[in-house]
Homo-oligomer: A and B are copies of this chain.
Amino acid sequence: MIRACLIGAGRMGRDHAHHIHLSHDATLYAVADSHFPSAKELADKYKAKAYSSAEEALLDPQIDAVVIASNTDTHADLIIKAAKANKPIFCEKPIDLNLERIDLCSAALKKAGVPFFVGFNRRFDPSIADLQARLKQKAVGRVEQIFISSRDHALPDKSFLKTSGGLFRDMMIHDFDMMRWLSGEEPVEIYATGSCLIDPSIHEFGDLDTAMVIMKTASGTLCHINNSRRSVYGYDQRIEVFGEKGMLRTHNLAPTTVEHSTHEAVIMDKPHLSFPQRYKDAYRIEMDHFFTDVVKNGKEPSVSVIDGRRAIVIADAAEESYKTGKPVKL
């Protein structure tokens, strides 16, 4: 069994502790968090060790791999330290909001030669993964148009939004990764626009809550992305790919399949509330990929530091387009 050390005992950390527990090849060996009581509480639940700092944990020779689920601004530093400690790394997205720091991570990882995986969980969603596999098998022939809708359930706290890096880097980053993965191409031009319709005060710190983007690849494939920070009917995540031989779509998932026909309407369950429910399987599968395929069997991680970097490059271009009101070449 691979002894995993989880860094970060917040919301995402607690979820990942469970995903590690579900892995057949890994066991949650330690939890590190600068807020020690959080580390302790989570560690106790899984009979794991608790550390009050990642640095201390990284000295523990029993640790076989690390899962970084701490705040975004700590990622780069932790990646470099874990690389030096020679531990295979699972890091939550994004690697960092700053390209230079990502490049420092990249250099450190290269030097250490440790496997590095960035958690673009959607690639592991059974429906999205199946759609992508079909695209590779040319199920729709040449891809002509891609559509990605991503709408979060509830508007995050203003305090979070101010430090999030903005909608393009914090939220749409997942969609940029999807666009690259599904098209198998890089965008050569991007146009981004948007509004503050949910909370106009978001505009004050230069961000937006409602966005639409069009990208174009070198071969002429078009991609539309839309984001909203708030969707009252739950977490709305849909993909549509149109091509010369047809169309592939994924739909939302709901807690139940119950259909109620009344004198007024036919009523179905609304989609899952948010990402922990919707991507429950994806989180489990990406953890299995990391521990079983990568750490245990030595396979190449399916999402690399380059993927994490490209998504930020596109997000930066989207931000520039939004701010200048013009398309931006990539």
Question: Which A residues fall within an 8 A CB radius of B?
Answer: 22, 24, 45, 126-127, 130-131, 134, 139-140, 142, 144-145, 147, 151, 189, 191, 193-198, 210-212, 214, 216, 220-222, 224, 226, 228, 230-233, 236, 242, 244-271, 325-327
Contact = CB atoms under 8 A, between A and B. Distances in A.
A226 B224 contact: yes
B266 A233 contact: yes
A74 to B, nearest CB: 29
How many copies of this protein are present in the complex? Answer: 4
Contacts of A24: 45
Contact of A210 (B144, B231, B267): B144
A263 B233 CA distance: 4
Contacts of A264: 270
27 contacts: A24-B45, A130-B269, A140-B260, A145-B212, A145-B228, A151-B242, A189-B193, A194-B222, A195-B216, A195-B220, A195-B221, A197-B220, A210-B220, A212-B222, A214-B214, A224-B226, A230-B244, A231-B242, A233-B261, A233-B262, A247-B260, A250-B256, A261-B271, A265-B267, A265-B270, A266-B269, A266-B271
A254 to B, nearest CB: 8
Contact of A262 (B193, B220, B221, B245): B245
A226 B147 contact: yes
Given A139-B260, A246-B263, A267-B268, 19 more contacts: A130-B255, A130-B258, A144-B228, A147-B226, A189-B193, A191-B191, A195-B221, A197-B221, A210-B222, A214-B214, A232-B262, A233-B266, A236-B247, A245-B262, A248-B261, A249-B259, A250-B259, A326-B326, A326-B327
A195 to B, nearest CB: 3
Nearest to A226: B145
A45 B27 CA distance: 12
A314 B210 CA distance: 23
Q: Which 3 residue pairs are nearest across A and B when measured between Cβ atoms?
A: A195-B220, A233-B261, A251-B257
B260 A134 contact: yes
Contacts of A130: 255-256, 258, 269
Given A142-B197, A191-B327, A326-B326, A263 B251 contact: no
